[in-house]
Amino acid sequence: MNPHNKNLKPSTSRQASRTRTGNHSSLKQVKLASSSGNHTASDYYTVQQPVLPENLAAHMDQLLDAIDRALPLSPAHKKDLKYAVRDLSRELTSERTERKRDYLGMPRNHAAYIQYFLPWNVLRIAQIVANLDVSLQDGDSILDIGSGPWTVPLAFWIARPELRTKQLTWILMDRVKKPMESGRAIFTVLNEMQNLADCPWQFVTVREQFPALAEKKQPKPFALITAANVLNELFWNERVQLDIRASSVLESVSLNAGPGTRLLIIEPGEPRSGTMIAALRESILINAQHLKGRILSPCPHTNACPMPGSYLGKALRALRTGAPLTKEIPAAVNMPASRQKYPWCHFVLNSSPAPKRLLELSEAAGIPKERLVASWLYVELFSKQPTQYEKNHKKEENSIRIISDTIRANNKIYRYGCGEDGYLMVGQPFSHYPSGTLITLADKKIWVSHSIDKKSHALLVEQPNQEQ
């Protein structure tokens, strides 16, 4: 709290406690006794911070050991590794047009991906998975689209130890055989290192391209469908309208989904991927014909995404044309119609659990990892039951998700956030919480100032001061 604000001192009876929830999040409840202007009341807010999987740093070290044992590099590949990582990084970003379709089947690219990109991706995905409401039971099946070297199963194994004893079947789909073979070898060694060679998980690898397998009717719906770092590669060079792409993806997925099927899409935290995530989100909210779903994470509301990047969806088109909103079109709140491009939703993750040797490889390749970012969407499909989020947060308009790193404006510290009121700048007393934190306000009126930051067009949310 701000010690200089005499009107908002914590009461002497303030209670702050931490509990572990089912999705491993840290929950703090804070009571404030405030009297500012005409407002005098006891006001509450809850803070749910993202947490790291237990022993994540040790698991990442062990993963690198497993990679080295399962797929030892030749002396030539070791010598060339930093250059191979550098070159592949360029192919995946600035030089995408020069990348071959099956680039992971090439030995040099394959070695670079396994040694460098795989562990970084596992580190990202494990942090996301650790903070999701994942409910898998014995006998459940999971479809992993574009599995590559088994990145998603490895992340789940590290992040959710309670699932290691479940009888789960993973259907791993990729168009290139070699990465999947490498993933199996790494997973096998990792289990042996942990004396868990009798892992009850079953794996079925399918050499197929999305959406082919997703559209083949399975005996029963998948409990979970995942796609990590896939959609940006599938659609990066296609000149098809984004909402059409999103609708097509969801239509394919829906064929093997049932009530309660969870869909998890994770993409790199860059503008192109954030834009695709925004398109998928809107399609899920409005596409009743194929796939009506409930957003579980990270969104704390069902209005239009205020950070859609360059995605001009139905909500924004209605805003710009003045067309009347229908119940299928989410409301565009605090989204200036004149803007050509908007921020994109992405979260900053913790890079500290990365092993030293992985950081050294990053430095040697000339691509130091100063921060980890990701965009994701977690949805429950066809469900008529209230989600856990809805049970915990009945007044969704009072919840705010912190998005960014800290930013400085007007000699104050803020973070960008997202809520029912749209694009937000979150100040004291919340600005020190990390990206991904969910804040739920008991009384939003005393926190939201209704003033707009001139530079970002974000609505200010901060503790009341003496003048309010």
CB-based contact 416:404 (threshold 8 Å): yes
pLDDT category, 27, cuts 50, 70, 90? Answer: low
Mean pLDDT of 245-251: 82
Within a domain: residue 325?
no
Q: How far apart are CA 423 and CA 419, in angstroms?
A: 7
Q: State the DSSP string of 105-126.
A: GSHHHHHHIIIIIHHHHHHHHH
Q: Residue 382's Cα: distance from chain center in Å? A: 21
CB-based contact 320:286 (threshold 8 Å): no
Task: Please tell me whether residue 262 adopts helix, strand or coil conformation.
Answer: strand
Phi, psi of 274 (to 5 degrees): -60, -35
Query: Does the structure show a pLDDT above 70 at 93?
Result: yes
Mean pLDDT of 141-150: 94
Element (H, E) at 10: none
Phi, psi of 449 (to 5 degrees): -85, -20
Q: What per-residue string of b and e applies to 15-24 under the rule 16 or more CB within 10 Å gives b?
A: eeeeeeeebb
Strand partners, 35: 40
Sequence-ordered strand ranges (E) for 337-394: 347-349, 372-381
Within a domain: residue 9?
no
Within a domain: residue 50?
no
Within a domain: residue 287?
yes
Phi, psi of 194 (to 5 degrees): -95, 10
**Which pLDDT score, from 0 to 100, does residue 8 have?**
28
Strand partners, 45: 30, 441
CATH number at residue 223: 3.40.50.150
Within a domain: residue 216?
yes
Within a domain: residue 12?
no
pLDDT category, 83, cuts 50, 70, 90? Answer: very high
How many domains is the chain built from?
Answer: 1
CB-based contact 155:36 (threshold 8 Å): no
Q: How far apart are CA 280 and CA 410, in angstroms?
A: 36
Q: Considering only CA atoms, which of 399, 419, 436 is closest in space to residue 45?
A: 399
Prediction pTM value: 0.86
Token pair in block for residue 337: 């119609």
Which has more confidence, 12 or 53?
A: 53
Q: How far apart are CA 90 and CA 95, in angstroms?
A: 5
Token pair in block for residue 318: 């209605």
- Tell me how many degrees the CA angle 254-257-260 measures, rounded to the nearest 5: 125
Within a domain: residue 36?
no
Query: Does the structure show a pLDDT above 50 at 4?
Result: no
Q: Considering only CA atoms, which of 172, 143, 169 is closest in space to residue 257?
A: 143
**Which pLDDT score, from 0 to 100, does residue 468 have?**
38
Task: Write the pLDDT tens digit of every residue in 216-229.
Answer: 666 788 999 999 99
Task: Please tell me whether residue 32 adopts helix, strand or coil conformation.
Answer: strand
% of the chain beyond a pLDDT of 90: 43
Domain span including residue 252: 56-298+345-388
Cα distances from 406 to residues 25, 412, 414, in angstroms, run 21, 10, 6
Binning the chain into helix, strand and coil, the percentages to the nearest 5 are: 35, 25, 45
Q: How far apart are CA 379 and CA 281, in angstroms?
A: 9
Sign of the Cα torsion 85, 87, 91, 95 reads positive
Phi, psi of 420 (to 5 degrees): -60, -25
Q: What per-residue string of b and e applies to 137-168 under the rule 16 or more CB within 10 Å gives b?
A: eeebbbbbbbbbbbbbbbbbbbbbeebbeeeb
How many Cα atoms are found within 13 Å in the side-chain-facing hemisphere of 79? 3
Within a domain: residue 214?
yes
CB-based contact 81:56 (threshold 8 Å): no
**Which pLDDT score, from 0 to 100, does residue 58 have?**
96
